[in-house]
């Protein structure tokens, strides 16, 4: 008798829980999702739209369908779109009033474009709403003065985050974040006091995996390239309306295409740690059979020579510790054609630029092993020009020219910079 009653009660409890699970997931959560999206849009510089949100209480999970992210200032500019996302919440995170989760995303398209002020449009996802139009106007006018490609904008972003001045500001912010804030809420019968550490992020994602995605790299003049079949994995990512965005680790890999034609492949890895209270970042790049002509809009304003064509293979392992660079690089350039830029025929160059380009073009493949040291603000390319000279020296003789090594090295230094 007791056993049958227990089974009956268990069945009733299961039915009730299942009913609550599906009522919340199918009927209540879409309305709740609208409120959540509205709240996020109050703090974000981007405009976020989600077609449907389903929250499943028993499994502590949620599914989001057709997520679209737009530029708030121009809703015709799409930053990203995601077909489907699954979120797994953590019970411990909910108890500490944080949304700690793992996220799986499929069918994502990301449109990465450089902004006139030197930033990237995707950064708007982690920035608060702009306080006024004057700041945006100044940034736009500043960006119009100096033409920057995507490589230069990426380097500017790196300096903004990891230069010595930026690290000093981060140190001050980190010390400030350790302080505890107290919020007092008046109640009908007393007060409620809430203590919060300033470094407590509202949203924390242990792991975010995006598969079957597509990244569209676009320049302001309309030229673009795509990274297809991309896989993106982010670890220890966190966001807070007041603190912004923080990321511990990121891995990206995929196939590069331009106008539907294969243009190589890439793999990128980033890891951020703290050593003795200062941030330490590790950047690793692998590029394979990259068509430099198809991707010229990414680098063309950053190089002293014009690359007409060429195929690049690159392995780069870089550590930035307290603003200091330690980078080991292996580069191979094949089937290439270089030519001087209009401003390259300078009077302080000891070696004619056409002659140097001819020697470089006759060195196939052009293989260079070099290191980068110094600081983020002033990187130093050790033995770059000398190793380059050793590579082209035989071809200088083949084209019937006698060039003193010191003159050739001085020419290369004039072109690529004095600290190389």
Other residues' Cβ atoms within 10 Å of the Cβ of residue 50:
19
Query: What's the token pair of residue 386?
Result: 């000398």
* C-alpha radius of gyration, the chain, whole number: 27
* Coarse DSSP helix, strand, coil percentages of the chain, rounded to the nearest 5 percent: 30, 45, 25
pLDDT for the residue numbered 398 = 61
pLDDT for the residue numbered 137 = 36
Pairing type for strands 224-240 and 244-246 reads antiparallel
Residue partners of 200: CB distance under 8 A and separation at least 6: 98, 240
pLDDT for the residue numbered 314 = 94
346: phi > 0 → left, psi -120 to 50 → alpha, else beta; which? beta
CA dist 50 and 135 (Å) reads 29
Averages of pLDDT over runs of 10 residues in the chain (420 residues) are 63 76 76 78 79 85 88 79 85 60 84 68 61 41 52 77 71 60 67 60 78 85 87 82 73 92 93 75 93 89 84 93 89 89 48 75 86 87 71 64 53 52
Residue partners of 404: CB distance under 8 A and separation at least 6: none
Q: How far is CA 213 from CA 124, 207, 228, 233, in A?
A: 20, 16, 7, 11
pLDDT for the residue numbered 133 = 42
- Extended beta strands in 114-157, E state: none
Residue 237 and residue 204 in contact, taking contact as beta carbons nearer than 8 Å: yes
Query: For residue 281, which phi and psi values (nearest 5 degrees)?
Result: -120, 140
pLDDT for the residue numbered 358 = 82
Residue partners of 15: CB distance under 8 A and separation at least 6: none
From the list 69, 156, 162, 165, the residue with the least C-alpha distance to 110 is 69
């Amino acid at each position: 008798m007791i056993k049958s009653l227990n089974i009956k009660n268990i069945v009733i409890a299961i039915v009730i829980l299942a009913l609550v699970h599906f009522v919340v997931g199918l009927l209540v959560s879409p309305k709740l999702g609208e409120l959540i999206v509205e709240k996020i849009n109050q703090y974000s510089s981007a405009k976020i739209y989600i077609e449907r949100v389903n929250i499943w209480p028993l499994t502590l999970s949620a599914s989001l369908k057709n997520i679209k992210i737009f530029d708030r200032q121009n809703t015709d500019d799409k930053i990203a779109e995601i077909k489907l996302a699954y979120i797994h919440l953590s019970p411990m995170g909910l108890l500490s009033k944080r949304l700690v989760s793992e996220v799986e995303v499929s069918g994502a398209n990301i449109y990465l474009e450089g902004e006139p002020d030197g930033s990237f449009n995707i950064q708007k996802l982690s920035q608060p709403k702009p306080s006024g139009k004057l700041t945006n106007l100044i940034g736009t006018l500043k960006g119009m003065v100096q033409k920057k490609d995507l490589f230069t904008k990426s380097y500017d972003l790196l300096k903004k985050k990891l230069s010595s001045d930026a690290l000093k500001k981060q140190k001050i912010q980190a010390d400030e974040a350790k302080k505890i804030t107290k919020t007092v809420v008046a109640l009908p019968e007393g007060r409620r006091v809430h203590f919060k550490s300033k470094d407590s992020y509202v949203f924390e994602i242990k792991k975010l995996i995006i598969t079957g995605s597509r990244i569209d790299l676009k320049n302001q003049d309309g030229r673009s390239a795509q990274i297809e079949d991309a896989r993106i994995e982010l670890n220890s990512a966190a966001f807070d309306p007041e603190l912004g965005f923080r990321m511990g680790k990121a891995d990206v890999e995929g196939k590069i295409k331009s106008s539907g034609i294969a243009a190589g492949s890439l793999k990128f890895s980033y890891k951020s740690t703290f050593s003795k209270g200062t941030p330490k970042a590790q950047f690793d790049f692998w590029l394979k059979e990259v068509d430099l002509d198809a991707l010229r809009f990414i680098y063309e304003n950053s190089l002293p020579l014009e690359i007409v064509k060429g195929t690049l293979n690159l392995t780069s392992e870089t550590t930035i510790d307290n603003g200091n660079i330690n980078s080991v690089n292996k580069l191979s350039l094949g089937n290439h054609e270089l030519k001087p830029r209009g401003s390259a025929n300078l009077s302080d160059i000891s070696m004619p630029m056409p002659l140097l380009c001819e020697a470089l073009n006759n060195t196939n493949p052009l293989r260079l092993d070099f290191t980068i040291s110094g600081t983020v603000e002033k990187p130093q390319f050790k033995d770059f020009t000398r190793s380059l000279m050793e590579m082209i020296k035989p071809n200088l003789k083949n084209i019937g020219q006698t060039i003193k090594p010191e003159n050739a090295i001085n020419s290369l230094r004039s072109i690529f910079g004095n600290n190389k």
